[in-house]
Amino acid sequence: MRVTIRLFARLRELARRDELTREVGGAATVADVWGALAREFPALEPYTRSVSAAVNDDYSPMTRALANGDDVAFLPPVSGGRR
């Protein structure tokens, strides 16, 4: 199946693209898609511990199983100022 991957902010800059489409296995989770992406763009690897994801414009856990045609967005940490 195919999913659309969208990247934002520094992730977008590191991968030098804001959107890509990839073929993934039928039981692929969000984490699987991220793993493949980080292998394709090693500069993204350091974000593995801090990245968030959204599927079809809703926040999603990394464990979510994807469906064909899903839109998966990867989000770097937000500014979240503490004061």
Residues that bind another protein (CB under 8 A): 6, 8-10, 12-13, 50-52, 54, 57-59, 73, 75-83
Please report how close the Cβ of residue 66 comes to another protein at its closest, in angstroms: 17
Please report how close the Cβ of residue 6 comes to another protein at its closest, in angstroms: 8
Nearer to another protein (CB atom), residue 27 or residue 78: 78
Please report how close the Cβ of residue 82 comes to another protein at its closest, in angstroms: 7
29-35: list long-range contacts, CB under 8 Å, 24+ apart. Answer: 29/62, 29/63, 29/64, 29/65, 29/66, 30/55, 30/60, 30/61, 30/62, 30/63, 30/64, 30/66, 30/72, 31/62, 31/63, 33/3, 33/5, 33/66, 33/72, 34/62, 34/74
Nearer to another protein (CB atom), residue 24 or residue 73: 73
Nearer to another protein (CB atom), residue 25 or residue 77: 77
